[in-house]
Amino acid sequence: MQPPANRSLRSEIELLAVVLFWGLNFVVVKLVLEVMHPQVMNIFRLLGAAAVLCLIYWRRIQQTRAPFWGPLKLDPRAIIRLSLIGWVLYQAAFITGLDYTSAGNGAIIMSSAPIWTALLSLVMGTEQLSAKAWTGLVVSIVGTATVVAFGTAEIDLSSDLLIGNVIVLAAAILWGSYTALTRPVVQKHSPLSLTVIALLLCLPPLALLAIPYWNETDWERMTAVYWFAVFFSGALSTGIAIVFWNNAVRNLGASHTAAFGNLVPLIALVSGFFILGDPILPAQIIGGTLIIGGLVIMRWARKKKVIPPPAC
């Protein structure tokens, strides 16, 4: 068994890897979307994530002798609902929106997901917000609206960027809803088991969604570099990163871990600028600062366990 100091150092390193994975993932996805249809890429990246997470989950249940599909048998409706909202609808909206908007906009808008978690939790009666938390919530919503409306070089209601911003916002709301609905279920089942089962349930409908667009992919241009990018987005960014994040929450604490998560939009903005040539706009800086600042205020006020950011 590792000493606490060694576990903390390892978690710090893993957490840095997670931040890089999630920040770069927005740019990596944009690169692959140049040659692969969004829904076709979705099924490949999620197959990679499922392979990694299933292996880790299988090894863990071998130690406890728990049944693989145990949580689904105990709470079928709840888990099917989670799979539909948090994986089928969310993943379809996320990849579609990112196809239209920039990597930086996508990352900043997705960082607003905890806002929608808090609002739905409030509606469900599972959480109450203090005056300070409400202040942070309003600040974050203003920041989100700033990026959605003004995160384009030109203000044009018909522009692809604005359409993409709105779709990514829908994805953030879906993930926020998924997180709020997960909280009562995670009291009975491990986060890993819920993630794996919900992910496996989403694969058939997402595969059906991808079939009509199969021939729209430029398969001749799908070189080893693009396939590695798909592997990165699925197995690493959506698979390994979730495990690393949960380990960090356990070993370093929720607040410490959440602070690292705030770096994801910054990495996406900078990498998008250098790799894709995307401009960094004032609205992105102002909106991103407001979102992160509001979330920091909310976390100080609520002092709740941190839920992993979106499985991008």
| Alpha-carbon gap, residue 169 to 167, rounded angstroms | 5
Under DSSP, the state recorded for 153 is S
248 or 108: whose pLDDT is higher?
Answer: 108
Give the model's pLDDT for residue 87.
Answer: 95
d(CA 46, CA 54): 12
pLDDT at 38 over 90: yes
- pLDDT given at position 82: 93
What percentage of the chain carries pLDDT values higher than 90? Answer: 50
Q: Residue 269 and residue 24: Cα distance in Å, rounded?
A: 9
pTM of the full structure = 0.87
Q: At what angle do helices 131-150 and 103-110 cross, to 10 degrees?
A: 160
The pLDDT confidence band at residue 203, using thresholds 50, 70 and 90, is very high
- With bands split at pLDDT 50, 70 and 90, how would you rate the model's confidence at 155? very low
- Residue 160 CA to residue 272 CA, distance in Å, equals 17
